[in-house]
Chains A and B, each alone.
Chain A
């Protein structure tokens, strides 16, 4: 999943990173690329009822 420059800049501004975008545009772009890269590597759970960790239930965790 890649991110085009316009989308990256829009998301950066929405996250409040306007200053970083002006002063460190390459770092913002690198951060956006990292985020897109790692998210694409996670398998989606097939069970719609799959719980997140920690489990949303009373009782023992680990």
Chain B
């Protein structure tokens, strides 16, 4: 089907792969085979997959090839492989949530976001590692090992969507679904040097996704390029009348502003997050300053802006998350505490020590914090801030994991529900990814992609891949 080379298949972007398939320059079978070969070679070191569904993926690729040859494309992702975090249902496959508790929990139907990806033509390769029930951290006391970082497999890849981040960065698949309740799309995006979006709360249906915290859960796209992220969001966004948290909005055209640049955009730099609230490593600060300067050079107006402190955002997030998670996990924690890993058992039991008044107070303060961030968005169009305050640490040092995991600025936007995107800002002296985060007004993801694309073009972040072979 292919006449000439289309580049190394593992590094093809979603857009490039979809275009090559539509132009009949690339067979979905050839692409799938190349990626499955790469999975066979690298995943024993990365542990990105919990369930690899190679047979079904190859069958779907053959069907996609036949359709492409006949000129019948299902949608803009026709024939493009995708990985799915293992708290999201894929019909016929177990949704284990990386836990002994749900080892045999086979999904009867696809989650809405998976249905939509398949409707757009994507092919599911399998289910991906996560922190147990999307909380905790990298754990060695679970039925499956934790995913590892392809930039250096001695280091963690972030989480909880850890297999999604690791696999996209390593070229095992060009796109993946993650979920984000306290930063779980943006943490692995930051640690693995890819693009991870937490959309506006309610923009992507949560139906068919195992909940962690009903009012904080988001589903988001993880890709190697900003344009791919917009393409994937376009496929999965949309109102779902059966999801009580779904926003009653009409989808935007998320790639509309991609190449408009940032001239005259007003960017608020939230310096106090990484300079005062949780002082970042010097390399992280330098990379953030560099990104701010680069966007200013491209014509944006950059000014400092203040929001509530990270400490308080984090506390509000934790009280709400742990109270809601306790409502879900209480019955299992009472009867089967030994079937959880230690990290998630400790985190999930915290909700037992919070009362209804604590929960409501956190929700009241949440509304005030939303008003404070909304006030900032009357002064600026976009916020620029840190994502992680450190490069990813070694995965085998629990004390370092405990110290660095809370050193982040992602939870504020789970609390407020604003769309937030994390991506590569540079590499540390040790060759590990550093990160930057952009945040926008509700439902203005197209502006978020506009700024992220300007930074990507300026820094060439989409061309940087780990050297793992």
Contact residues of B: prevailing secondary structure: helix
Partner of B201, one of A28, A30, A34, A62: A62
Please judge, given known A-B contacts A39-B358, A53-B215, whether A20 and B333 are in contact too, CB under 8 Å.
yes
* In the complex, B364 has a CB within 8 A of chain A: yes
Indicate if the CB atoms of A32 and B353 lie closer than 8 Å: yes
Q: How far is the CB of A34 from chain B (nearest CB, A)?
A: 4
* Chain B hits for A43, CB < 8 A: 312, 365
Indicate if the CB atoms of A42 and B365 lie closer than 8 Å: yes
Indicate if the CB atoms of A52 and B363 lie closer than 8 Å: yes
Please judge, given known A-B contacts A31-B347, A52-B360, A62-B442, whether A42 and B353 are in contact too, CB under 8 Å.
no
Interface centre among B201, B346, B348 (most CB of A within 10 A): B346
* Chain B hits for A5, CB < 8 A: none
* Chain A hits for B363, CB < 8 A: 52-53
* Chain B hits for A40, CB < 8 A: 315
Indicate if the CB atoms of B319 and A39 lie closer than 8 Å: yes
* In the complex, B127 has a CB within 8 A of chain A: no
Indicate if the CB atoms of B353 and A35 lie closer than 8 Å: yes
How many A-B residue contacts, CB cutoff 8 Å?
A: 116
* In the complex, B247 has a CB within 8 A of chain A: yes
Give the segment of B75-83, B95-103, B366-374 that binds chain A: B366-374
* Chain B hits for A28, CB < 8 A: 349
Interface centre among B338, B348, B352, B358 (most CB of A within 10 A): B352
Instruction: Please report the C-alpha to C-alpha distance between residue A50 and residue B363 in the assembled complex, in whole angstroms.
Output: 10
* In the complex, B345 has a CB within 8 A of chain A: yes
Mark each residue of chain A from 45 to 62: 1 if its CB lies under 8 Å from any CB of chain B, else 0: 100001111110000011
**Closest A residue, CB atoms, query B318:** A38
* Chain B hits for A20, CB < 8 A: 333-334, 337, 345, 349
Give chain B's interface residues, CB within 8 Å of chain A: 200-202, 215, 247, 311-312, 314-316, 318-319, 322, 330, 333-335, 337-338, 342, 345-354, 358, 360-368, 370, 417, 442
